[in-house]
Structure formats: structure tokens, C-alpha cells
Amino acid sequence: MLTHQTHTASRRRPSRRLHDDSPDTTEAFAHLAGLDEGRERDVLREEVVEAWLPVAHRIAVRFHNKGENVEDLRQVAAMGLLKAVNNYDPQRGRFEPYAVPTIRGELRRHFRDHMWDVHVPRRVQDLRNKVRLARRDLAQQPGGSPEPSVTAIATHTQLTEDEVRDGLKAIDGFSALSLDAGLLTSGDDDTFSLTDALGAPDQAYDVITDREAAKAGLEHLPERERTILYLRFFEDMTQARIAEHFGISQMHVSRLIQISCRRVREEATRDWEQNEDAQAA
């Protein structure tokens, strides 16, 4: 059996091992490289994976303090091991120096892609881990505070206080709080949800946006047309009163308003397209 051979070889050549439980599968990999896809290759590959599973599981256990179930981590590590077995080339050196980083990389990707509810950069994730461990170590020290200060954490980790604050913020980003979660109010036992604290859309912002977009078009209009638009849309003056004010017909006022509004829209659209082209360049 492969397992018996690997343990025997491990005792004969301990100096070649990075870890004591690393099996000797050199001959198996050499044989595997010469096989075509088929039943024999699948069986041998399963034996190799089974032989290296203790190593993969041991690597997975090292990630257990990051908030994930150990059994799930072992499955992820096994996937990394299978990937390493499938991609390994015996001519490029021993298997273990290739397999260990591959398994670790699979575990790190698992945490990056599946464990964070809010995506944060890798640097901030590393800060989170350092800050979290420092808080635990400081709290466990004799006379330690359950909530160490930013300064104490910075001294313990040799990070700057700004880096510690980034790490503390990232701790809250690891798991999201539901908007329907009940929160206690100060001073009584009543609760409210985060949804209750959300504001409503402010229509005034849309008005501001529209006015800013219309500025460029208004600047290109003659003074009379600008005044007509101002009286109609800002002073709420009727077309009849505007016509009386300028001594022209109401039909002429209506036509001037239509033409002026079209020019303003065209100018606003032109500016928007130019901005889009500039950003894409």
C-alpha cells in the first residue's frame, strides 16, 4: 500500500522532509505523470491525495482562529491539495514545496472571497488580523483591559495608530449587520432597526443637479430668452403676462420657450457626452 511505503521511506530519509508527516510519493508521481486519463490514473491520484491529506488538514487547522469552521477549512485545503496534485510537474522539484503554498493560497482565497461580507483590500485584512490578535493578547494579560486602547494596540503590534484604526474598522467589515437587526435605544428597553435610521431621498438634490446641468445652456441663450425662462419657471409667471411684459404675442412667447428649452437640453447633453469621453480616454 502507498501509505505503508511512505511511512517506511519517511523514516529512512528524514532530512528530505519539511514536515514529519510528509509522505514519500516520488515514485507515485513519476508513474502518474506517464499515465493518460483513465481509471488507473484516477485511482493513483486518489491514493496520492489520501497520503497527503494529513498535511493539508494540518495546514487548515492553522487558519481556525479566523472565524471559520475547521471541517470547512479542511475541505478547502483538500481542494487546494487536489489542485496541487493535478498541476504538479515532478521534473521541477519535490512536491511539498509546491503543494504547501498552493494549499495556503486556496485557504486565503476562501477567506478573501467567501468570508468577508464587505470587501476590503488585502492590506486592511492583514491589519485586521494583527489588531484582533493584539486585542486578545492584551486582554488576557494580568490586569489587562477587555478593550485595549488604540495606543496600547499600536505599541503591541508596532503599527501606527492610523493603521490600528483601519484594522478596527475592518473588524466590523468581516460580518455585516442586517438592516432589520434590532438595536437597543439608550435609556430604555425599546428597540429599533437600522432601517428606521435610514433617511429618505431628498428631492432638492435632483433640483440642484438639474440646475447645474442647465447652467451651460442658459449661458449661451440671448438675454431676452434667459429672462423669459426665468420668469416662466422661477417666478411662475404665465405666458400671457410674459407676452405683455415684452410686448409680443403669447404664441411667440410659447415658441421662444420651446426653442430655448431645446437648446438648454442639447447643451447639457453635449457637456455630459464630453465628460464621458474625457473619462474614457
Summarize pLDDT for 137-157 with one digit per residue, the tens: 888 888 777 788 889 899 989
Q: 131, 120 in Cβ contact below 8 A?
A: no
Look at residue 1 and tell me whether its pLDDT is greater than 60.
Answer: no
- 122-140 helix and 161-173 helix, angle to the nearest 10 degrees: 100
The total number of residues written for the chain in this structure: 281
3-class secondary structure for 208-223? Answer: HHHHHHHHHHHHCCCH
Residue 228 has pLDDT above 90, yes or no: yes
- Range of weakest confidence among 54-68, 148-162, 164-178, 241-255: 164-178
- Higher model confidence: residue 257 or residue 212? 257
pLDDT band at 248 (very low <50, low <70, confident <90, very high): very high
Question: E strand or H helix at 184, and its extent?
Answer: strand 182-184
pLDDT of amino acid 224: 93
Top mean pLDDT of 17-31, 76-90, 256-270 is at: 76-90
78 touches 49 (CB < 8 A) = yes
Give the CA distances from residue 95 to residues 1, 17, 18, 71, in Å, rounded to whole numbers and listed in that order. 20, 11, 11, 24
What confidence tens digit (pLDDT) does each residue in 173-219 have? 655 555 565 555 555 555 666 566 666 677 666 667 777 777 777 88
pTM beyond 0.85, yes or no: no
**Average of per-residue pLDDT values in the chain:** 78
Domains within the chain, CATH numbers bracketed: 2-115 (1.20.120.1810), 117-175 (1.10.10), 203-276 (1.10.10.10)
